[in-house]
A and B are shown apart, each in its own frame.
Chain A
Amino acid sequence: MRSAALSAADAEAFASAPAPKRPVRWHILVFLAPAASIYTVVMLLPLVESLWLSFFTTGADRSVVFTGLGNYARLLLDPTWARFFWNALRNNLIFFAINMAVQNPIGILLAALLSLPKLRGRGFYRTAFFLPTMLSFVIVGFVWRLLLSPTWGVAKSFLSFFGLGAWFEPWLGQSSTALITLSLISVWQFVGIPMMLVHAALLIIPDELIEAAESEGIVGFAQFFKVKLPLIWPSIGIVSMLTFVGNFNAFDLVFISQGSNAGPDYSTDLLGTLLYRSYFGAGTQIGDPYMGATVAGVMFAIIFGGVALYLITIQRRIAYYSF
């Protein structure tokens, strides 16, 4: 039977050892196994398999034929497919640009206002601003369609109230305005996320820093731009990255609002809707799983490439401040 009392040296050695170093540390395996296996089996392997499918196509007698990069060539170069692909890519870039230009600045503005000291009703405002993010795409698409519908005249009456009735147009029905309108609806829906994250980042900034700035006479806008903004760049960086990934994966809003044909005249077609249409078909168009997989492959390359680019170039240059 071991003595219950250990020498001081023993106790110290025991206390500072990170874990029992003896045989295999089974618990590490146990801890990692469930997450790693679900993640690998359900997320990564299917992705690889889907991408693998993109190297095949249907042969003459309905057999499966290896075609290398043939599908990719078709998608990017053959007019039948390419016109949809390049259109979708262009639309996606516009969608992303609008989100970055509108969503993040508004989010930052709201966050800045919410972080003002002694703000009354902060919790209420926060919940209100976050509510759109909690809504499903079905609600968002449906309601905005209704509000903007020329038949029911809600938006029109609203504008008329301010004497701007002539400005009203069936925005969702015109190729020139449909994409922008949907982008703004998407901004409306997701502004809650940058708002929350930047808000939190602002709350972390120690009071002493703010007080020091104020004692030097830096207040208001100047204070925001000179003191607060540099400290929240990392959050803005992460938000930008998440926006990028989200936007290039976007599908639901367009599907609910415009259908899988992404009308009018494919003006709202994004890579996500192109993927759906390619894989599942639309109306009488029969789907092609191989081209669907090809679209997915290209989307993956774009998203991955974009994020990698971001991490390599920008992320390095953001200074992290810790308190």
Chain B
Amino acid sequence: MSRWNGLAIVGAALIAMGLSIPARATDLIIESWRNDDLAIWQDKIIPVFEAKHPDIKVTFSPYAPREYDAALNVKLKAGTAGDLITCRPFDLSLKLFNDGQLAPLNDLPGIDNFTKLAKAAWTTDDGKTTFCVPMAAVIHGFFYNKAIFKKLNLEPPQTMDEFFAVLDKVKKDGEYTPLVLGTADQWDSAYMGYQNIGPSYWQGENGRLGLLDGSQKLTDPQFVEPFKVLARWGQYMGDGYSARTYADSQNLFTLGKGAIYPTGSWETATFRSQADFDLGIFPPPRPKAGDQCFINDHPDIGLGLNPASKNAAAARVFLEWLTTPEFAEIYANQLPGFFPLQSAEVKLTDPLAQQFASWRKDCKSSFRSFYQILSRGTPSEDSESWVLTANVINGVTTPEQASERLENDLKGWYAPHKK
């Protein structure tokens, strides 16, 4: 074959190929700390979206949660972060927005499917600009081992007194750890201890907003009481709880060695797969019979747009999908325990998830008290609360000392508390 013929054939082949190659798919990358959800996203959520939008490919790319913030920070500074950023609630994401690393989403179709309260975690202080689409909230509560309760003839407690009575009974029996919680990781003490039972004492939003405007102080009784309750927990937590990590607690409970586990709705899926006993849940016990109940209903995960993304248009399409009831339903049912924040009602299939969600009817909702604004300075109240709560349970710091330290820290940099 002569050289020219050969070239002609190759040329024709190339042209033919060019005509038949489909338009290149846009690749979207989602940054996240939810290693736990990798399988669900890859198998259940993303395929639904891609079926509707065949020209967009989405990759869910998580890090170990401890390393997420540091790694994300670096990548954003260097301009190598993904198109969609999973947003932590409140100040951590607000800072990103203020630094120009999250795009404003006020004009996103569907952003009005969320109430103001739902968007609060991802809106600027003045309430004007939203920068992440709310994805999920988690509800704090108490899981219990129904088999153990049945065996020891126990009922889920309604009040704090009943709660301690139950713990006493389990401790007396001696075979099981009454309260499964550790203080080694610290955050579990803070969120599943103080922030779990706390709202019932400081009246939820009432207390939280009072702290914000300075009308209430952390040394007020309603904020010290929860610490006093926590100081009594140590004796029910079993041997060596000060070296028990969150993972240890999970294992202890799911292997049937503990009776009650203060934790949140996020454990629903995990416990279902790992525990071989019947699971039950009850809301935080009220301080006194007849008190209004309060739950910690915490907006936890949002998704935002990286303004430096080269595929912003496709990313917006994805974000829009996130505001639809279709997404809410898939997400809520694939990840029971994570509740979508859309105003529209979502049908939940998991009974425990349903039960958690039902608490919203009778109980008033609030979220972790230190998350909005109060962790903006140095030291951050929330971070300090980790260490102090663990200390209180360990008996190293008294409830009064802990409250004082928190209040002093706040006085140091937060104007409404300086007077």
Contact = CB atoms under 8 A, between A and B. Distances in A.
A-B complex is real:
yes
Interface of A: 62, 80-81, 145, 148-152, 169-175, 258-261, 263-266, 276, 280-288
Contacts, number: 105
Contacts of A148: 243
A172 B244 CA distance: 9
B69 A266 contact: no
A263 B186 contact: yes
A265 B412 CA distance: 21
Given A170-B242, A173-B242, A173-B243, A264 B183 contact: yes
A282 B243 contact: no
Contacts of B370: 284
A122 to B, nearest CB: 38
A174 B70 contact: no
A170 B234 CA distance: 14
A258 to B, nearest CB: 8
Given A283-B383, A284-B92, A286-B91, 10 more contacts: A149-B243, A149-B244, A173-B184, A259-B66, A265-B391, A276-B70, A283-B187, A283-B382, A284-B370, A286-B380
Contact of B412 (A80, A174, A284): A80
A173 B240 contact: yes
A285 B251 CA distance: 29
Nearest to A291: B378
Interface residues of B, number: 41
A149 B246 CA distance: 12
A264 B380 contact: no
B239 interface: yes
B375 A264 contact: no
Given A175-B396, A261-B186, A263-B390, A282 B244 contact: no
A151 B244 CA distance: 7
Interface string B95-138: 10010000000000000000000000000000000000000000
A265 B245 contact: no
B242 A149 contact: no
A173 B183 contact: yes
Given A284-B91, A286-B95, A263 B387 contact: yes
A60 B243 CA distance: 42
B241 interface: yes
Nearest to A255: B66
A81 B66 CA distance: 23
Interface of B is mostly: helix
Nearest to B384: A285
Nearest to A279: B70
B185 interface: yes
Given A283-B382, A285-B378, A286-B380, A169 B240 contact: yes
Q: Which of B73, B240, B390, B396 has the most CB of A within 10 A?
A: B240
Nearest to A181: B243
A80 B380 CA distance: 11
B252 interface: yes
Contact of B244 (A173, A260, A261, A287): A173
9 contacts: A80-B412, A149-B243, A151-B251, A170-B243, A173-B241, A173-B242, A260-B66, A283-B187, A285-B379
Q: Which 8 A-B pairs have the closest CB atoms?
A: A150-B240, A173-B242, A173-B243, A170-B243, A170-B240, A285-B380, A284-B382, A284-B375
Interface string B252-264: 1000000000000
Given A80-B412, A283-B187, A170 B241 contact: yes
B386 interface: yes
A218 to B, nearest CB: 49
Contact of A281 (B69, B98, B241, B390): B69
B248 interface: yes
B235 to A, nearest CB: 15
B349 to A, nearest CB: 33
B364 interface: no
Contacts of A145: 245
A262 to B, nearest CB: 10
B268 interface: no
Contacts of A169: 240
Given A173-B184, A286-B92, A288-B378, A264 B69 contact: no
Nearest to B185: A259
A264 B394 contact: yes
Contacts of A149: 240, 243-245, 248
Interface string B373-406: 0011011101100110011001010000000000
Contacts of A81: 378
A285 B244 contact: no
B371 interface: yes
B380 A284 contact: yes
A92 B412 CA distance: 28
Contacts of A62: 98
Contacts of A264: 183-184, 186, 242, 390-391, 394, 396
A276 B380 CA distance: 16
Contacts of A260: 66
B248 A151 contact: yes
A24 B95 CA distance: 56
A281 B69 CA distance: 8
A80 B379 contact: yes
Contacts of A151: 240, 244, 248, 251-252
Contacts of B92: 284, 286
A26 B73 CA distance: 44
B243 A171 contact: yes
A266 B243 contact: no
A80 B239 CA distance: 34
Contact of B396 (A265, A281, A284, A288): A265
Given A151-B251, A280-B69, A280-B70, A285 B242 contact: no
Given A169-B240, A173-B241, A259-B185, A284 B391 contact: no
A287 B73 contact: yes
B387 A261 contact: yes
Contacts of A259: 66, 185-186
A280 B73 contact: yes
